């Protein structure tokens, strides 16, 4: 937090200097100065971020406008988490932050300072798949596979939240994850199997 | 899910998708996800008017924004060799057949058209800089309102116009109905957005990671555009995150990324936003249809007249086979059809799952249902009474047709006997209850394909073809075919695709991958077995005195027919031959007996639903999807295709509508919150049944296509069930509650 306060004040300082310049310098020069400031500001405006992803601690410096989703995909090269809409409307980007499912496209990376993030790459135990991954394969809970990481992260949370007590309840609590290939009935079959703690027919 | 079949012979029920592990672990690499050194990020600036010209673009602010490398637009776009032949006089509106030549000129044809590309070192910086570009236009009033402009439609010059027997015979029939049907634009919206990563390895060597249903056709398009030889362009498409038709052609973003990468001398990644998925990669066209059907009092059809109009863009002609099902799905002596297209100031449409018949069957199958009520006849009986035993148009036999079995299986499974013959008379728990059915049809021929198979001494059998798999499970089906043919376990077989360095395969569309590539794989397996026998005779001492016809190949082993102890495994044959591997390539021609046979896949969909009597909310209770798709090669993936098609059909019937503001010519619901697609809670139990009788004429695989018939016929089944429940005939999709109160 301390760190962030400092950053905030630096940014304010830059803004103020620009504003002061506006009072004294004629406009063409002002435009130049503005651009210059912007470049400096962008340098200063990176923020420190401590984040644990799939058990690995990262110490990063990121622009505050970078979403958690883009941090994962573009900077950490964890592309298992998918971008389908970037607006919190499809669920393809679902990850767990401190054990809760969120749409990572709706969370700025810097909002997750000090938190533990789990992505699709972090749920298997070596070569042993997570039971939900197994169940999705057994029930063919996908076709193209693009929504699948988000579905699986959502499904694990759905069971943990206690929202998997019937087909209807699973359908309701899995409706934030769109599958355009239409694997829905098979996704519900998979969640049912894991909920029951074993294979279902 | 239900496991009933008419035929159960060749299905291996425990079969799993071969790329399943990659897909559930996040290891599957989609086009935007390859790690490439020195990558830059490109973001489109799009037009905010639907028709006019660009007067000026103010770029200074954007150019000076942090991290910006370049901005490309019509005034500084490098010469694209393939453009020149197409470009007419500047400012002259001309339809060109190759689509939009991105950045070629300052003409705006549609709202959301890409007009500039900002390239920066990070995606965020490119997005921000793109927001700083200011565009001045000379604006013209756009024409986008299909309903009010229909009278301007013109015949496209091919397809749709047809007549047999008397024109408009239905008008003189004992019993006749007439109705009009409207379907709005529907947007494919695969969850993976289109993405292109362009890397120029040399001045004349281009590598492109691209979301495409046809790597080879993308390669061909880029070769033409950039004036390169095909072999200088490699297109890589390892995984496709759904497409349903929208990746059937090369859209402007692909050349745009290539142009940019060349201009800045660095790799460029361009991923479309969800909004751009509405304005740049097509949609199912808006359509209007009018059908008249007449019958004798006992239900024999005497005349069908079917007129259709669908939209195209101002810069391209796009047409679909909407009226075809009326010509040949049911037996009728007098049929006439017409088809026109209407050019609007909107982006160009593209085929979407079940293109043509999905639209046409909504009208035809709704109309037949309406006629059945007027005849006081069961809708299934009406279809049986007019069952076409031979193709009504050319009187040719079908390679196979088991639509009757589809009716029987579905009727039983849905509980058709519970259907009230008088609409609006059945209630369950206070809900109006209805049953409906609809028929689906799609062309099922076979296109050409080439594949290569390599058998290695370590036991692996690797097959390769330059196709892509947007989700139906082509990889799994090919492994299944090869495993059966070679008698090997599936884990010894790998099917590699999505790379233009492999032998040419067809574009994935029209449900043709399995029959085409599957035939090539079958031929490879047969040739492999012949070669293995010859190699055994040549290099294995105990086989020297045998002739090939005295040997048998079975389950990975070559044995003497008369002496089963003389036997050797294929791995040992390869080892003893001293060669590292055995390689065979095979091509198949397209199936060309159109003068002898008619070729179609068929489906019948059955729906049971509830309608709330006050709010009009529809709750689907059950769907039964029955397919005549020939032999089922891979039960797991075939079942998923049928379920997915039913879900897509539910979207068409009840949810999907791309809405436009006609003042600005801009889509107003270009996002996944406002453009409704079915979610998990919308979907009832779906029972899938296969007739599963092989069609050995179309291809030795026994398969016919499945992907399109999975959707065609669903929307009319829903509409017919709604009528059965409420007595309201909804002819304008989607069927939303407001239309029922
Ligand atoms: S990408 Fe985050 S919800 Fe769609
Ligand atoms: S598997 Fe393709 S979107 Fe769900």
The percentage of residues in chain A with a pLDDT greater than 70, rounded to a whole number, is 76
- What single string gives the DSSP state of each residue in B391-409? -TTT-PPBS---HHHHHHH
**What is the CA angle A20-A24-A30, rounded to 5?**
80
A136 lines ligand 2 (CB under 6 A): no
What whole-number distance in Å separates Cα of residue B84 and Cα of residue A151? Answer: 47
Contacts with A, B 648-667, CB within 8 Å: 648
Residue A81, helix vs strand vs coil: coil
The confidence score (pLDDT) of residue A37 equals: 53
The confidence score (pLDDT) of residue B513 equals: 83
With CB atoms and an 8 Å threshold, state whether A85 touches B671. Answer: yes
Higher pLDDT, B327 or B13: B327
Token pair listed for B357: 């018949």
What whole-number distance in Å separates Cα of residue B311 and Cα of residue B324? Answer: 17
The confidence score (pLDDT) of residue A137 equals: 96
With CB atoms and an 8 Å threshold, state whether A82 touches B19. Answer: no
Q: What is the mean pLDDT of residues B222-232?
A: 94
Q: What is the mean pLDDT of chain B?
A: 93
Q: Which residues of B180-213 are buried (b: 16+ CB within 10 A; e: fewer)?
A: ebebbbbbbbbbbbbbbbbbbeeeeebbbbbbbb
The residue in chain B having the minimum alpha-carbon distance to the alpha carbon of residue A171 is B681
What whole-number distance in Å separates Cα of residue A195 and Cα of residue A191? Answer: 6
Higher pLDDT, A5 or B308: B308
Residue B212 pLDDT exceeds 70: yes
> Taking a C-beta distance cutoff of 8 angstroms, is the pair B587, B387 a contact?
no
**Which one of A144, A166, A201 would you mutate to disrupt binding with B, by most B Cβ within 10 Å of its Cβ?**
A144
> Taking a C-beta distance cutoff of 8 angstroms, is the pair B683, A184 a contact?
yes
CA of B16 to the centre of ligand 2 (A): 16
The confidence score (pLDDT) of residue A82 equals: 98
Confidence of residue A32 (pLDDT cuts 50, 70, 90): very low
Give the Cβ contact number of residue A23 at 10 Å. Answer: 7
Residue A34 pLDDT exceeds 60: no
The confidence score (pLDDT) of residue B4 equals: 40
Helices and strands, counts by H and E, chain A: 7, 5
The confidence score (pLDDT) of residue B71 equals: 98
Residue B534 pLDDT exceeds 90: yes
Helices and strands, counts by H and E, chain B: 17, 29
Q: What is the mean pLDDT of residues B241-266?
A: 97
Q: Which fold has domain B4-27+446-588?
A: Aldehyde Oxidoreductase; domain 4 (3.30.365)
Sign of the torsion angle spanned by Cα atoms A141, A147, A149, A150? negative
Question: pTM for the complete prediction?
Answer: 0.93
- The answer, for B13 touching chain A at a CB cutoff of 8 Å, is no
What whole-number distance in Å separates Cα of residue A92 and Cα of residue A101? Answer: 12
Higher pLDDT, B639 or B85: B639
Pick among 3.90.1150.10, 1.10.579.10, 3.40.1280.10, 3.90.1170.50: CATH of B34-140+191-242+247-280: 3.90.1170.50
A145 lines ligand 2 (CB under 6 A): yes
Q: Which residues of B326-345 are buried (b: 16+ CB within 10 A; e: fewer)?
A: bbbbbbbebbbbbbbbbbbb
A152 lines ligand 2 (CB under 6 A): no
Higher pLDDT, B300 or A8: B300
The confidence score (pLDDT) of residue A42 equals: 59
Q: What is the mean pLDDT of residues B170-196?
A: 98
Residue A167 pLDDT exceeds 70: yes
Residue B514 pLDDT exceeds 90: no
Q: Which residues contact B192 (CB under 8 A, 6 or more apart)?
A: A82, A84, A144, A146, B30, B31, B211, B240, B241, B242
Residue A89, helix vs strand vs coil: coil
CA of B641 to the centre of ligand 2 (A): 11
- The answer, for B14 touching chain A at a CB cutoff of 8 Å, is no
Residue A148 pLDDT exceeds 80: yes
Per CB-CB distance under 8 Å, the chain B contacts of A39 are: 66
Residue B511 pLDDT exceeds 80: no
The confidence score (pLDDT) of residue A39 equals: 57
Where in chain B are the domains?
4-27+446-588, 34-140+191-242+247-280, 283-445+595-739
The confidence score (pLDDT) of residue B122 equals: 97
Token pair listed for B297: 């009092």
Rg of the Cα atoms in chain A: 22
Lowest mean pLDDT among B76-85, B627-636, B710-719: B76-85
Residue B420 pLDDT exceeds 80: yes
Place of tokens 């036991």: B459
With CB atoms and an 8 Å threshold, state whether B680 touches A174. Answer: yes
Q: What is the mean pLDDT of residues B257-280?
A: 98
The confidence score (pLDDT) of residue B159 equals: 78
The confidence score (pLDDT) of residue A40 equals: 58
CA of A133 to the centre of ligand 1 (A): 20
Residues with Cβ within 6 A of ligand 1? A 83-86, 88-93, 103, 105
Q: What is the mean pLDDT of residues B382-397?
A: 96
CA of B114 to the centre of ligand 2 (A): 27
Per CB-CB distance under 8 Å, the chain B contacts of A120 are: 24-26
> Taking a C-beta distance cutoff of 8 angstroms, is the pair B702, B679 a contact?
no
What whole-number distance in Å separates Cα of residue B249 and Cα of residue A50? Answer: 44
Pocket perturbation via mutation, ligand 2, pick of B191, B353, B469 by most ligand atoms within 8 A of CB: B191
**pLDDT, tens only, A98-145:** 999 999 999 999 999 999 999 999 999 999 999 999 999 999 999 999
The confidence score (pLDDT) of residue B15 equals: 80
The percentage of residues in chain B with a pLDDT greater than 70, rounded to a whole number, is 96
The percentage of residues in chain B with a pLDDT greater than 90, rounded to a whole number, is 88
What whole-number distance in Å separates Cα of residue B278 and Cα of residue A104? Answer: 23
CATH number of A131-197: 1.10.150.120
Per CB-CB distance under 8 Å, the chain A contacts of B192 are: 82, 84, 144, 146
Considering every ligand atom, which ligand is closest to the CA of B473? Answer: 2
CATH number of B283-445+595-739: 3.30.365.10
Residue B558 pLDDT exceeds 80: yes
Ligand 2 atom showing the smallest separation from residue B190 Cα:
3
> Taking a C-beta distance cutoff of 8 angstroms, is the pair B703, B521 a contact?
no
CATH number of A46-122: 3.10.20.30
Residue B357 pLDDT exceeds 50: yes
Token pair listed for A124: 């298997």
Rg of the Cα atoms in chain B: 27
Sign of the torsion angle spanned by Cα atoms A175, A177, A178, A184? negative
The confidence score (pLDDT) of residue B360 equals: 98
Residue B26, helix vs strand vs coil: coil
Place of tokens 């065979």: B584
The confidence score (pLDDT) of residue A44 equals: 62
CA B518 from chain centre, in angstroms, equals 18
Token pair listed for A37: 């400031």
Asked whether this chain's domains B4-27+446-588 and B34-140+191-242+247-280 adopt the same fold, the reply is no
With CB atoms and an 8 Å threshold, state whether B190 touches A66. Answer: no
For residue A10, give the H/E element and its range.
helix A2-24
Where in chain A are the domains?
1-44, 46-122, 131-197
**pLDDT, tens only, A77-111:** 999 999 999 999 999 999 999 999 999 999 999 99
What whole-number distance in Å separates Cα of residue B125 and Cα of residue B119? Answer: 9
């Amino acid at each position: 937090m301390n760190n962030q306060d400092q950053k905030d004040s630096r940014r304010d300082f830059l803004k103020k200097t620009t504003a002061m310049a506006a009072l004294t310098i004629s406009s063409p020069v002002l435009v130049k100065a503005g651009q210059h400031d912007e470049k400096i500001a962008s340098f200063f405006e990176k923020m420190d971020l401590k984040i644990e992803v799939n058990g690995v601690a990262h110490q990063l410096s990121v622009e505050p406008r970078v979403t958690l989703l883009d941090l994962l995909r573009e900077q950490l090269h964890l592309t298992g988490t998918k971008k389908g809409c970037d607006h919190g409307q499809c669920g393809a980007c679902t990850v767990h932050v401190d054990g809760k499912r969120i749409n990572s496209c709706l969370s700025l990376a810097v909002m997750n300072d000090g938190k533990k993030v789990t992505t699709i790459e972090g749920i298997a135990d070596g070569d042993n798949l997570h039971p939900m991954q197994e169940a999705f394969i057994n029930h063919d809970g996908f076709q193209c596979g693009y929504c699948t990481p988000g579905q699986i992260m959502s499904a694990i949370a759905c069971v943990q939240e206690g929202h998997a007590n019937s087909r209807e309840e699973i359908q309701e609590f899995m409706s934030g994850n769109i599958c355009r290939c239409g694997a829905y009935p098979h996704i519900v079959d998979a969640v049912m199997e894991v909920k029951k703690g074993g294979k279902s027919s | 899910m239900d496991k009933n079949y008419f035929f159960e012979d060749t299905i291996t029920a425990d079969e799993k998708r071969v790329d399943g592990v990659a897909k559930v672990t996040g290891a599957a690499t989609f086009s935007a996800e390859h790690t490439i050194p020195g990558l830059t990020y490109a973001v489109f600036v799009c037009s905010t008017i639907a028709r006019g010209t660009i007067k000026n673009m103010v770029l200074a602010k954007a150019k000076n924004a942090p991290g910006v490398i370049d901005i490309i637009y019509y005034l500084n776009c490098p010469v694209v060799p393939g453009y020149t032949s197409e470009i007419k006089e500047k400012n002259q509106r001309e339809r060109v057949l190759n689509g939009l030549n991105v950045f070629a000129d300052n003409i705006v044809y549609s709202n959301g058209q890409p007009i500039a590309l900002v390239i920066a070192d990070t995606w965020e910086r490119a997005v921000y800089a793109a927001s700083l570009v200011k565009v001045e236009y000379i604006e013209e009033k756009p024409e986008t309102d299909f309903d009010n402009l229909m009278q301007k439609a013109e015949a496209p010059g091919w397809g749709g116009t047809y007549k047999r027997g008397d024109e408009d015979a239905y008008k003189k029939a004992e019993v006749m109905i007439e109705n009009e049907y409207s379907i709005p634009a529907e947007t494919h919206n695969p969850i993976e957005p289109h993405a292109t990563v362009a890397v120029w390895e040399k001045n004349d060597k281009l590598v492109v990671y691209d979301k495409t249903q046809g790597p080879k056709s993308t390669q061909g398009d880029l070769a033409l555009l950039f004036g390169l030889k095909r072999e200088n362009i490699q297109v890589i498409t390892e995984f496709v995150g759904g497409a349903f038709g929208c990746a059937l052609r090369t859209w402007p973003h692909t050349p745009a990324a290539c142009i940019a990468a060349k201009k800045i001398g660095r790799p460029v990644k361009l991923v479309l936003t969800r909004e751009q998925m509405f304005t740049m990669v097509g949609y199912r066209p808006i359509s209007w249809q009018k059908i008249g059907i007449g019958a004798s009092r006992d239900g024999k059809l005497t005349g069908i007249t079917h007129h259709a109009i669908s939209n195209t863009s101002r810069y391209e002609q796009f047409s679909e086979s909407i009226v075809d099902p009326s010509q040949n799905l049911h037996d009728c002596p007098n049929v006439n059809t017409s088809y026109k297209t209407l050019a609007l100031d909107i982006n160009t449409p593209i085929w979407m799952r079940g293109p043509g018949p999905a639209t046409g069957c909504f009208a035809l199958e709704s109309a037949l249902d309406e006629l059945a009520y007027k005849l006081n006849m069961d809708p299934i009986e009406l279809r049986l009474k007019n069952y076409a035993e031979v193709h009504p148009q050319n009187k040719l036999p079908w390679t196979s047709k088991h639509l009757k079995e589809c009716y029987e299986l579905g009727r039983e499974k849905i509980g058709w006997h519970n259907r009230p013959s008088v609409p609006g008379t059945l209630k369950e728990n206070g809900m109006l209850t209805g049953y409906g059915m609809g028929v689906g049809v799609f062309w099922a021929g076979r296109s050409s394909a080439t594949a290569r198979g390599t058998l290695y001494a370590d036991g692996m059998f690797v097959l390769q073809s330059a196709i892509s798999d947007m989700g139906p499970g082509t990889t799994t089906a090919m492994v299944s075919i090869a495993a059966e043919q070679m008698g090997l376990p599936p884990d010894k077989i790998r099917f590699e695709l999505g790379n233009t360095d492999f032998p040419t395969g067809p574009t994935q569309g029209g449900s043709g991958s399995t029959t085409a590539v599957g035939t090539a794989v079958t031929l490879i397996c047969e040739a492999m077995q012949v070669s293995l026998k010859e190699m055994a005779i040549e290099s294995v001492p105990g086989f020297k005195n045998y002739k090939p016809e005295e040997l048998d190949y079975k389950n990975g082993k070559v044995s003497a027919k008369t002496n089963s102890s003389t036997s050797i495994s294929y791995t040992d044959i390869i080892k003893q031959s001293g060669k590292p591997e055995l390689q065979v390539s095979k091509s198949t021609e397209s199936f060309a007996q159109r003068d002898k046979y008619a070729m179609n896949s068929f489906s019948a969909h059955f729906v049971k639903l509830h309608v709330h009597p006050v709010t009009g909310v529809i709750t689907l209770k059950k769907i039964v999807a029955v397919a005549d798709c020939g032999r089922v090669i891979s039960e797991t993936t075939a079942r998923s295709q049928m379920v997915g098609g039913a879900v897509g059909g539910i979207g068409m019937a009840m949810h999907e509508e791309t809405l436009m503001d006609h003042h600005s010519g801009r889509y107003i619901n270009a996002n996944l919150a406002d453009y409704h697609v079915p979610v998990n809670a919308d979907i009832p139990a779906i029972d899938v049944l296969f007739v599963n009788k092989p069609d050995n004429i179309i291809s030795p695989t026994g398969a016919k296509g499945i992907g399109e018939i999975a959707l065609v016929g669903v929307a009319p089944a829903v509409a017919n069930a709604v009528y059965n429940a409420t007595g309201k005939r909804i002819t304008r999709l989607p069927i939303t509650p407001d239309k029922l109160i």
